[in-house]
Structure 1
């Protein structure tokens, strides 16, 4: 038998919380002395760990009690954890994309139209569910590639957040294109999984039809001069509907070490 303090330490909770669990019948001590001192059996640690895990997954104490009463097992807890993890990852992706959109709007407000603002920033590595192709540079059709990606993601019921394309010059005439959506590590059926590396980039914001992207890219090339890298990305921040008048795309040139 363990005193409440030792049991609380092993379970990673406070003694006050254990007293609360006792009062509401969620975790009753194995023995309570006449003076009110609570003692717990080591076998009760499993129930305590399940209780804490279920609370961490967002369940209320009433729901926790019901689930414990049903004898929820380790595999069930693991499944719940995977679902919760996926939901939190989805929320982070949506929040990150929303923040990028607001930041892009602010940059558009602040910049001089005649001299687009170039910003240096660091991009974390991301995993994308995508399709890729290698094509002559003058025949790159990112939209067509995205159309196919969207069709396959919708068929799989996959969450579509944070569309991004990465273009890499293979040689003077050929470009490798990867177009897709940021996803968790798990792949989407029918799509390739690509890991876009962490990079420092020079970026500018383009608002309007995609036909204007070459102009924005040319401005970045002028900024980069002879050291302009062979890889660039297009992050689609607002790209809903067929009317591209209000579309917002962040064009990003990957910089080699020391170029920032």
Structure 2
């Protein structure tokens, strides 16, 4: 069979067939009187092997090596190919995310696209310190740059760089709220949690409203982060949710600290409500939860907490009782003047 017929039947161009011949991959067994290549059935079979191996992603040198070794084992090669394809898919997926963010930012001209492209290139630098410096150098990023920063944050492996990207997004203000909120519906847990952390760093009404919409989010970590961020802004509506975090042991130490920041040391009626919420959760709670709640009660610098501790001093659980007694002892010492005003010892370990 001459080269033209082989090309027509196999789909491999005549030019590629000549290239295979020069490399020694598929060499025709004979020649016509006029010097034209003549392929035998065996040559065609070898051509099919070459094309099959190439379709798996092997380079021509790897194909030649495979065909030259009768004892060639395909397992390791296939495993290597799988790893290469997975790596390529990961890169392409990351690129797709970034391009989608760029598209969603509705660039209005090529200057926007070029600025975003330059930022993309900089954030792809292999050195984390380079990426960190770039993020810290941004002063109020433009909307098209914010889209790039959001995607970079969601995929950044270095925590220091991620912190710098969060800082840059916080400086961008409300422009970053929508893309960050959009990321909260993604399937990957780590992407959602990075997005809510960055959203919590933006001090604006729009960001606060976005955090409020996360109440009852399917991801408990996202919901907890939103509650803590709202509490740090002084939003007393999240007091019940903060107390539940303490009860459930979900970032309970942070939740207790935020509760303490929400109350006035001089005591107001709303602070009594905070104490009442903690006491209400103590009723019927498991032992471990009661100990966490008692420790949180210890941190509330208001008179109502002392009254609640008096009731808990004889609690059947020793950990709860000891924490209550320590709170009362600390208050008594303050009254006697044996400690500087406004200071209290830390609660005993509730565990």
Q: Which TM-score tier does this pair reach, normalised by the shorter chain?
A: 0.3 to 0.5
Which of structures 1 and 2 has the bigger CA Rg?
2
TM-score, normalised with respect to structure 2: 0.33
TM-score, normalised with respect to structure 1: 0.42
Which is helix-richer, 1 or 2? Answer: 2
